[in-house]
Amino acid sequence: MRLVLLGGPGAGKGTQARLIAARLGIPHVATGELLRAAGRADTGIGRQLRGYLDKGALVPDETVVELTRERLKEPDAGRGFVLDGFPRTLAQAEQLDLMLEQQEVQLDYSVVVQVPEDELVKRLSGRRTCRQCGAMYHVGFRPPRVAGVCDVCGGELYLRSDDTEQTVRRRLELYREQATPLLDYYRRQGVLLAVDGLGSAEIVEQRIALALAGNHQSRPDRDRRARMA
Ligand code: AMP
């Protein structure tokens, strides 16, 4: 299964992508994580990337597309993947389709996790991320067992430089601008599934699983039926 997860920053894309990927036995590909790893390098490119990441600004399409292309070429992505954080622009969505076309495969679904903006601000400013494995917590809603320490790997939890309130507002603004054309793009292709993102991670995961199960036809079958209708 080849999936894209969409949703505002803090909508739970990362958590859901991780859960779906584990359930389906396919890799979770998070461009934010790939970029943060590349940005840690003490090189010119590393410094340039940190400039974008710290401000919450979008990294140029060519850079992200190239990074994603390389990741999706790895053997583990052959059976499918869950993309998280990509595409964020229409140009990236078109490039993704081209990439998949070259591999003679297609995206199955684009799942949008819907959460109101006020809730997103609350969630992000309390979010803590593990430096080592990327697992996410919330100081109020989902605290770790030991404050500041990751339950999964024991790594240090930190407040991402782009999770401060000012940057969160900027990221939400950006998402608002970028999401509409992306959602339209996938709606036109007939692959968009909208899921309510309020509630616990487990409940949202169930909603996504139900939505995917209720639309279990393969993409070629759906395309054929759409042509015949
Ligand atoms: P995320 O972890 O998905 O919230 O992404 C963190 C940051 O990485 C974003 O605020 C952007 O600066 C950058 N980023 C991640 N994915 C993309 C993308 N597809 N296009 C451009 N920038 C991205």
Q: What is the CA(79)–ligand 1 centre distance, in A?
A: 24
Instruction: Reply yes or no on whether 160 is catalytic.
Output: yes
Query: In one letter, which amino acid is 89?
Result: T
- What the block records as the tokens of 78 is 């052959």
pLDDT in tens, 2-51: 999 999 988 999 899 999 999 999 999 999 999 999 999 888 889 999 99
**Three-state DSSP class for residue 52:** helix
Is the per-residue pLDDT at 219 higher than 80? no
Say how many Å lie between the CA of residue 50 and the centre of ligand 1.
11
* Catalytic choice (2, 88, 123, 128): 88
Closest CA to ligand 1's atom 11:
58
Annotated active-site residue in 123, 127, 128, 207? 127
Eight-state DSSP code of residue 57: P
CA distances from 48 to 31, 172, 194 (A): 16, 22, 35
Predicted confidence (pLDDT) per residue in 72-99, tens digit: 999 999 999 999 999 999 999 999 999 9
Give the pLDDT band (50/70/90) at residue 223: low
Quick check: 161 pLDDT over 90? no
Strands 127-130 and 109-114: unpaired
Separation of CA 129 and ligand 1 centre (Å): 15
Task: Kindly list the structural domains of the chain, giving each domain's residue range(s) and its CATH number in brackets, ordered by start.
Answer: 2-115+165-218 (3.40.50.300)
* Assigned token pair, 203: 């409940």
Q: How far apart (Å, rounded) are the C-alpha atoms in residues 186 and 110?
A: 7
How is residue 219 written in tokens? 């993409």
Q: Residue 213: which residues within 8 A CB-CB, separation 6 or more?
A: none
Nearest to 120 by CA among 73, 72, 167: 167
* Tokens 């509409």 -> residue: 180
* Residues in contact with ligand 1 (CB, 6 Å cut-off): 9, 31-32, 35, 52-53, 56-59, 64, 85-88, 92, 162, 171
Atom of ligand 1 nearest to the CA of 9: 4
Whole-angstrom distance, CA of residue 127 vs CA of residue 2? 28
